[in-house]
Amino acid sequence: MRLTRRSLLATVWATGVAACAGAPGISASGTEPDATEMASLIRSGNMSAREAVDAAIARALAVQPTINFLVADTYTQARAQAATPGSGPFAGVPYLIKDLNNVAGVMTRSGTRVTAGRPPAATTEPFVAAMLDTGLISIGKSASPEYGYLPTTEPLAFGPTRNPWDLGRSTGGSSGGSAAAVAAGVVPMAHANDGGGSIRFPAANCGLVGLKPSRGRMADGEVPGPLAISVQGCVSHTVRDSARLMSLVERKGSAAIHAPVGFVDGPVRRKLRVGVLTRGFAGFEADKEVAAVVNSAAKVLEDLGHAVSQTSWPTTASFGDDFLAFWSLGAAQDVASATRETGRKADESSFEPFSLRMAANASKLTEADTNAVIQRLLGNTAAYNEWIKGFDVVLSPVIASPPSPLGYLRGDVPFDTLRERLLQQVGYTLIHNVCGAPAISLPLGRTSTNLPIGVQACAAAGADGLLLELAYLFEEALPWRQYRASLA
């Protein structure tokens, strides 16, 4: 008899999981399979790809009206693909692609009203193609804030994506649609990308694993320049899912920029030099509950024999505003490109106020101003690279507070107010995008009201494997899979 996903939960996870409870990423709590386990069930014939895809679609239809994670569905295409899922390592596993990236035949909206009516994408982007080549089956495009600018997923074009842990709270951004879907049990993992924290913020807010790889690690097209800040990845429930996907889509051979990591399958064995901090680069201290979780994680490592010491960011006082100025250059390009594409004037009927103000700020920068910003950011890269030599890893908050109320960081908040809130909230993640270093968010704590709190670990550029080994260690010491969103 072929087992369905539902019956698997009543049989495999009730009886067979005890035998593999010690393996990384496997929980004895009866939770649904992660992507690795689901792929194994499909390969063994205990679940068909069509059953896995149908279950994901059914769950998506059930929760979409509540959490609003989806911009466009590809259910018909997914069911057709599930009929012949192939033999990739993740063959038949349902997935989502973030709506900042092109998939052939599907419209890319980029979280903005100005893209309404544009034709479907003609081609699939290289990194998306590399992910799908592993056998993953996309069931749709996940929500993003406008052009991915903000650390919350509340685009005026589509309305807010709601956090499955608390529907009045933000999922984070910009990969908030993907994170909400994974937290709500729609798919076991989903595509995400990160230009300033956009993998790590949603992972922290939604109780997930979120690895921001080193710049140039992933097979995402052209060789990146020294200030290419965006990288590709995923959000997942388990370390092994993130580790396996990275191993499959990292650059290899002559294309490799960093030595390939391969599949990391267990915790770090050597003793580490661990730095810890709770104050952001703008000088703001983290929320007390957030700081307590970070310090508790550091204490776990100390109790395991690792050398732990306090530290502080090596960034300059102007770093936050310099990053925002550099970010505004991208906003100006996006607004100008969309205006040319549509022939419409750039105003608040098509763009959010934050996007327009960012573009306006960029227009005021002279060439000398821009060059000075870039040189200061490169100086911060040099400072980070020197600072991190003193540690193997550094622990910090991901974001200063637990998931914020919806509306707090939305794109129509007055710009000066929003700027202050951003500098206070995101004082832990931007430096890694500037210098190209890896960082990971791990769901190591919860607030008194059971909201997730993520802890960030960062390392030197290229040390992605070490962060995954550390993540496995934490997954063993502070297991999180038994804690699920109320909507899951």
Give, to the nearest 10 degrees, the angle between helix 464-477 and helix 239-249: 160
- What is the distance between the alpha carbons of residues 202 and 181, in angstroms, rounded to a whole number? 11
Q: Please indicate, yes or no, whether residues 293 and 240 belong to a single structural domain of this protein.
A: yes
Contact 204, 454 (CB under 8 A): yes
| Residue 485 forms part of a structural domain | no
Domain end (from 336, 364, 392): 364
Q: Nearest 5°: phi and psi at 151?
A: -85, 35
Does residue 328 share a domain with residue 448? Answer: no
Domain range enclosing 331: 319-364
Backbone conformation region of residue 305, classed left if phi is above 0, alpha if psi is from -120 to 50, else beta: left
CB 484 within 8 A of CB 413: no
Full-model pTM:
0.94
Token pair for 166: 């608390």
Q: Give me the active site residues, please.
A: 98, 174, 198
* CA–CA separation, 262 and 472 (whole Å): 15
Among 308, 331, 364, give the residue marking a domain's end. Answer: 364
In this predicted structure, what is the pLDDT of residue 332?
97
Q: Which two tokens stand for residue 147?
A: 């052009």
**Nearest one of 183, 225, 72 to 138, comparing CA atoms:** 72
| Cα 339 from Cα 87, distance rounded (Å) | 43
Q: Is residue 331 part of a domain?
A: yes
Q: Which helix or strand (DSSP H or E) is residue 380 part of?
A: helix 367-387
Strand pairing of 439-446 and 393-397? unpaired
Q: Is residue 487 part of a domain?
A: no
Write down the pLDDT at residue 333.
Answer: 96
The residue among 364, 399, 425 that closes a domain is: 364
275 lies in some domain:
yes
Looking at the structure, tell me whether residues 358 and 470 fall in a common domain: no
Query: One digit per residue, pLDDT tens: the chain, 488 residues?
Result: 333 433 333 332 332 233 233 333 233 345 789 999 999 999 999 999 999 999 999 999 999 999 999 999 999 999 999 999 999 999 999 999 999 999 999 999 999 999 999 999 999 999 999 999 999 999 999 999 999 999 999 999 999 999 999 999 999 999 999 999 999 999 999 999 999 999 999 999 999 999 999 999 999 877 899 999 999 999 999 999 999 999 999 999 999 999 999 999 999 999 999 999 999 999 999 999 999 999 999 999 999 999 999 999 999 999 999 999 999 999 999 999 999 999 988 999 999 999 999 999 999 999 999 999 999 999 999 999 999 999 999 999 999 999 999 999 999 999 999 999 999 999 999 999 999 999 999 999 999 999 999 999 999 999 999 999 999 999 999 999 999 998 87
Question: Which residues 6+ apart lie within 8 Å of 324 measured at CB?
Answer: 358, 419, 422, 423
Residue 196 lies in a domain: yes
Same domain, 203 and 288: yes
Tell me how crowded residue 203 is: count the other CB atoms within 10 A of its CB. Answer: 36
Same domain, 342 and 279: no
The kind and range of the H/E element at 309 are: strand 307-310
Verify that 139 and 59 share a domain, yes or no: yes
Residue 124 belongs to a domain with what CATH number? 3.90.1300.10
pLDDT at 222: 79
Strand runs labelled E in 9-156: 70-73, 94-98, 137-142
Write down the pLDDT at residue 483: 93
Report the pLDDT value the prediction gives residue 6, as an integer from 0 to 100: 37
Residues 12, 43 within the same domain:
yes
Residues 6+ apart with CB under 8 A from 74: 103, 106, 138, 139, 140, 141
Strand order of the β-sheet with 137-142 is: 70-73, 137-142, 94-98
Residues 155 and 51 in one domain: yes
Residue 111 lies in a domain: yes
User: In terms of domains, do 228 and 330 share one?
Assistant: no
Considering the domain architecture, whether residues 422 and 435 belong to the same structural domain is answered as: yes
Q: Are residues 346 and 389 in the same domain?
A: no
Task: Please check whether residue 234 is in contact with residue 191, taking contact to mean a CB–CB distance below 8 angstroms.
Answer: yes
Domain co-membership, 200 together with 292: yes
| Number of domains into which the chain is organized | 2
Q: Where are the beta strands (DSSP E) in 329-474?
A: 393-397, 439-446, 452-458
Does residue 176 sit within a domain? yes
Radius of gyration for the chain, computed over Cα atoms and rounded to the nearest angstrom: 21
- Are the beta carbons of 72 and 141 closer than 8 angstroms? yes
Bridge partners of 276, per DSSP, are 310, 395
Answer yes or no: is 488 within a domain.
no
pLDDT score recorded for residue 344: 86
